[in-house]
Amino acid sequence: MEEQLMSKKKPAYPITAGLATYLKECNRTIKISVFYDDLLRFAGSVVVYDTNDEDTLWVRVYYEEHERIEIESSLKKVYSILHSDGNEDAIAFLNIDAVDYCTFGNSKPFRIKVRNILNDNYAYIYVKTADASRIYGLELEHMFSPNRINFLVYKNTLIEEHIAGIPGDVFIKDFLEDLTDQAKAQIAKEFVKFNERCQMRLLGDMRSYNYVVIPTHDFDHVEYKIRAIDFDQQCFEGKLKVYQPQFFKENYAMVELVSTRLQLSSIEQYKKEERSVLAKRMLNARSRANNLLACMRMDTISTLENREMLREHLYDFTLDLTFRRCESMGEILTTALEFVRRNYENINMDRSLDE
């Protein structure tokens, strides 16, 4: 199924001058002393296995001694800049426990484990190639989702914070079946909202290993949230189904949960709630969103074939002729968001008239 939905390989798109200006104005850029390409100069690697002795598709890399000292020092500075004000006083208490390289997927990121030697607390950061699609995805997530994203860009290097949670595929395999009926109903509700959120902002490829499930204990029960962790498929693919997590076979268990735990009226209500929330976030972040979308409209982050296909799919889905006049993926996304905003305002207007 995924071979038919997804392109075999998505290229990395460069950061344009307009996007670079936007990132600088939003304090997303910072001069750093280590680049993604620097980390590629590792001398060797060993496979990283999980607790069940299964290959994680990550390898732990190591460097020649003369390069290791410089790289680790630079990574500590990057961590300090990302998580605080860049104060170097804390660097003496940081240790780089591991540098892991992912051999799976488009971005091939490095995962850095940083430990505080005073208390053994640790955190992860990721170093990736600065792909414009991913940066747009991160910014849109920051503005239009319930979550906030912390990342930095310098030239061709992207630094991301770690998003904590249980990977969706692990959650489905190891936890879902043992949940209470109430918890399963709540997961179903969250998946409906997550599906709607991805569709509205055109975030693609949300297979189960590209999002996490976050449990939060609240008095006598546990609340669950679903959060995306991979953003490089922002506005790239041409098929609308790619932006709807329900159509990936890896999410079948979630879809089945929705069909067995929720009535159609509830599903529609949750979709409306998510559209309303997105519309409110658009209004609250209007200036920043307009600046970002202006960059996207002038940018090339997909192929001509994908753009033409997606605008036709969205026209068929909404019957809004504006989609057929879109000349870029940025225009398509702007039109999609405007469609959501207009519907929200029309509903509120009708409600006011009724009152």
pLDDT tens-place string over residues 218-234: 888 899 999 999 999 99
Read off the pLDDT of residues 314-343 as tens digits, 9 standing for 90 and up. Answer: 999 999 999 999 999 999 999 999 999 888
Q: What is the pLDDT of residue 1?
A: 41
Q: How far is CA 60 from CA 46, 57, 111, in A?
A: 5, 10, 9
Phi and psi based region of residue 319 (left: phi greater than 0; alpha: psi -120 to 50; beta: remaining): left
Residues 6+ apart with CB under 8 A from 207: 2, 168, 169, 245, 248, 250, 251
Find the angle CA(103)-CA(5)-CA(237) to the nearest 5 degrees.
80
Phi and psi based region of residue 165 (left: phi greater than 0; alpha: psi -120 to 50; beta: remaining): left
Residue with tokens 């460097």: 63
Q: What is the pLDDT of residue 6?
A: 79
- Contact (CB, 8 A) for 227 and 212: yes
pLDDT < 70 positions in the chain: 1-4, 86, 346-355
pTM given for the model = 0.92
AA letter at 107: S
Q: What is the pLDDT of residue 354?
A: 52
Q: What is the pLDDT of residue 83?
A: 85
Q: Three-state DSSP class for 149?
A: coil
Q: How many Å is the Cα radius of gyration of the chain?
A: 21
Residues linked to residue 129 through DSSP beta bridges, in sequence order: 157
- Contact (CB, 8 A) for 78 and 101: no
Find the angle CA(302)-CA(308)-CA(4) to the nearest 5 degrees.
75
AA letter at 287: S
Of how many residues is the chain composed?
A: 355
CA 14 – CA 129 distance, rounded (Å): 10
Q: What is the pLDDT of residue 348?
A: 62
Q: What is the pLDDT of residue 250?
A: 97
CA 145 – CA 125 distance, rounded (Å): 21
Q: Tell me the DSSP string of 154-172.
A: ETTEEEEE---SEEHHHHH
Q: Three-state DSSP class for 143?
A: helix
Quote the tokens at residue 147: 């979550």
CA 137 – CA 330 distance, rounded (Å): 12
